[in-house]
């Protein structure tokens, strides 16, 4: 049996904006010009997996540059870990190919409306979502065996569902500019592991997304000695 998720609502709520990127600095830089105004007092953290030319600002801005492409799951985990060390309670994660079009005040308003939610998502394919640091720790972080992309979001969503975490989807987080899979459009080879990741997901949960059968990964049986 899984225990229901009970969010701890520390006050004040503090969120950090995090953006993983690989090869779309052109689109990211367009968005950052606006984000520097939208989030003047909010820390923006970039995980640059492609060693790109990214514009900067002096304050409340960090670029993390791994030596190699971490993939989506590991990038999200790295960003969540960094945000946790900064004392964040919530993390707003954005794709590098979207522009959210919301201000700090609007995000704070969303967080107040759904302050008991572990996960707040847009309707645009995980391109813009808010996850609490507590929930991320509770469900066990993103599965880094899923690389470089696809099914890491399904996996996290299913694990949150198993833990009865409070989740909501809202148009309030829909980006005003949404582009689908622009990194893959630029580099189609990123799509090569789709079938491998799907096979892994089915093996892990006993079915494809929305057809899962297992309540624990790989239907493993816990043996008490």
- Full set of structural domains in the chain with CATH: 15-179 (3.90.550.60)
> pLDDT tens string for the chain (225 positions)?
334 445 555 568 999 999 999 999 999 999 999 999 999 999 999 999 999 999 999 999 999 999 999 999 999 999 999 999 999 999 999 999 999 999 999 999 999 999 999 999 999 999 999 999 999 999 999 999 999 999 999 999 999 999 999 999 999 999 999 986 544 455 566 567 999 999 999 999 999 999 999 999 999 865 444
According to the model, what pLDDT value does residue 12 have?
A: 84
Please state, in angstroms and rounded to a whole number, the distance separating the CA atoms of residues 55 and 106: 24
User: Are the beta carbons of 149 and 155 closer than 8 angstroms?
Assistant: no
According to the model, what pLDDT value does residue 103 have?
A: 97
Map residue 71 onto helix, strand or coil.
helix
Which of 171, 68, 165 is closest to 127 using CA atoms?
A: 171
Per 3-state DSSP, what percentage of the chain is helix, strand, and coil (rounded to 5)?
35, 15, 50
According to the model, what pLDDT value does residue 48 have?
A: 98
Token representation of residue 109: 């308003």
Token representation of residue 84: 């946790």
User: Are the beta carbons of 47 and 79 closer than 8 angstroms?
Assistant: yes
Q: How many CB atoms neighbour CB 144 within 10 A?
A: 16
Map residue 194 onto helix, strand or coil.
helix
Spatial CB neighbours of 34, under 8 Å, sequence gap ≥ 6: 99, 101
According to the model, what pLDDT value does residue 192 have?
A: 79
Q: Where are the alpha helices (DSSP H) in 20-139?
A: 25-38, 71-85, 104-113, 133-139
Longest dimension (CA), the chain: 58
Q: Where are the alpha helices (DSSP H) in 86-176?
A: 104-113, 133-139, 152-162
According to the model, what pLDDT value does residue 186 have?
A: 52
The structure's pTM equals 0.90
């Amino acid at each position: 049996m899984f225990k229901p998720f009970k969010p701890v609502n520390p006050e004040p709520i503090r969120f950090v904006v995090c953006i993983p990127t690989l090869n779309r600095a052109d689109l990211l830089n367009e968005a950052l010009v606006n984000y520097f105004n939208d989030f003047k007092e909010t820390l923006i953290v970039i995980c640059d997996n492609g060693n790109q030319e990214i514009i900067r600002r002096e304050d409340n801005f960090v670029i993390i540059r791994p030596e190699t492409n971490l993939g989506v799951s590991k990038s999200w985990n790295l960003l969540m870990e960094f945000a946790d060390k900064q004392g964040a309670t919530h993390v707003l994660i954005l794709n590098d190919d979207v522009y959210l079009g919301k201000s700090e005040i609007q995000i704070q308003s969303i967080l107040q409306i759904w302050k008991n939610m572990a996960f707040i998502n847009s309707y645009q394919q995980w391109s813009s979502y808010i996850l609490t640091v507590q929930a991320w720790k509770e469900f066990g972080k993103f599965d880094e065996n899923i690389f470089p992309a696809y099914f890491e979001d399904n996996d996290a969503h299913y694990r949150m569902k198993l833990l009865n975490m409070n989740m909501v989807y809202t148009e309030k987080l829909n980006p005003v500019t949404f582009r689908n899979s622009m990194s893959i459009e630029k580099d189609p080879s990123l799509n090569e592991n789709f079938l491998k990741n799907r096979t892994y997901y089915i093996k892990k949960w006993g079915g494809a997304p929305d057809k899962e059968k297992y309540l624990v990964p790989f239907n493993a049986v816990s043996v008490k000695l």
